[in-house]
Structure formats: structure tokens, C-alpha cells
Amino acid sequence: MSEVVTTPAVLILLGPPGAGKGTQARMLEEGFGLVQLSTGDLLRAAVAAGTEAGKAAKAVMEAGQLVSDDIVLAILKDRMAAPDVARGVILDGFPRTDGQAAALDALLAASGQKVTAAISLEVDDEAMVGRVSGRFTCAGCGEGYHDDFKQPAVAGTCDRCGGTAFKRRADDNAETVRERLKAYHAQTAPLIAYYEGRGVLQRIDAMGNIADIQSALAAIV
């Protein structure tokens, strides 16, 4: 009986800040043995390892310039040949444009792979403004809270460590969140169209509870 050879999954998660990409990526890593690859982590690891692509990236970054798509793709190619990603990857932060998406398709095709699914975590913009702009954390232990959804059991006292000092990120305000969402939609619209045209776009309602979103993602994988 011949052994069934499975092609490693290549998933792309699309979604604005606060949509839950990080949470869902961790679930996919744990549940399916996939590896999340972020562009920043890949660059730092390649530079530290001293690979040819890493050396090229280091020279560009030390000159204060942006790393080219060719270098990023070379680093991604090296990383995807590693044995720990045999079951598949979740790409985070790449591609960002339809040009990068086409280059990624060519890279994958060279090794008999393709994008399994580009998953768009769909959100309601105004609900996202409320979700993100109400966040605050304990200054001591980092426990997260929210003005509307999760207040400390005792007002002004952290549930976890008993601390009384809290902080908010400067960019977690309604105006900044609206600008981030506007920028995200402008940048991502071409990618949505690109992957929709190739029949691999999947849309998931990211305003529901985490378990429902996990189930929808699991069905795709």
C-alpha cells in the first residue's frame, strides 16, 4: 500500500489589529502542528544565523534601507525548507501587496506547493474601535482589562496580583484605531481581490466568540 504524501499547508491570516490573529495563530500551531512565521522574526533569525540571505538583509538594514522582497523571499525559502515546518506554516505580515503575493505563489510553485487558504478575519469597524480603545492593563503583571467587557472584580485592584496601578497604550484610542483600520483596509483590499480571484480566499466572522472562530478555522485547515 503506497504512503499518502501530503503537501504542507500554507495559510495566510489577514485581519486588522485587534482582530485576534495572534490568538488564532497560536491555536493553529497547537492544534495542527503548524509554525507561525512573521517577517520580523524571520529577518532577525536569518541575520543571527549568518545565512547568505541574512547577510544581505543585515547590510541593507545597517544602511537604514528597507529589505527588498527578493531578500525576504530568499529568507522565507530557506526557512520553509527546515524540517520543523513539514506540516505547514502560517504567514504573518507577508505578503502585504498583490505583487508580493504573486512572488510568493511563484516561490511555492517551484517546490510543488501553493497557498492553501488566505483567511480574512472580518470585523465590524466601529465594534473594533470599542474593543481596542477600551483596553487597559495592570502595570504590575500585565493582566488585561477592558472598560466595557472586563473590569477588575474590585474596582482599582488587579484580580491577578492585587496591584493598583494600571496603564493604557497611547495608541489605544478611538481616533488612532480608526486610522489603523482605514490603513488596513486600503492596504489589504488588493490582497483580498488577489486571493479571491484564485479561489483560495476564506472569510470568517471575527466578531464572534473565540471558540466559534477556532472551529471555523479548523474546518478550513
Residues carrying an active site annotation: 21, 96, 135, 168, 180
The x, y and z cell numbers of residue 213, run together, are 472562530
The x, y and z cell numbers of residue 152, run together, are 477588575
What's the rounded Cα separation, in Å, for the pair 159 and 194? Answer: 46
What's the rounded Cα separation, in Å, for the pair 36 and 28? Answer: 9
What's the rounded Cα separation, in Å, for the pair 117 and 164? Answer: 45
Phi-psi region of 37 (alpha: psi -120 to 50; beta: other; left: phi over 0): beta
What's the rounded Cα separation, in Å, for the pair 137 and 201? Answer: 35
What three-state secondary structure class fits 122? strand
Is residue 216 within 8 Å of residue 121, measured between CB atoms?
Answer: no
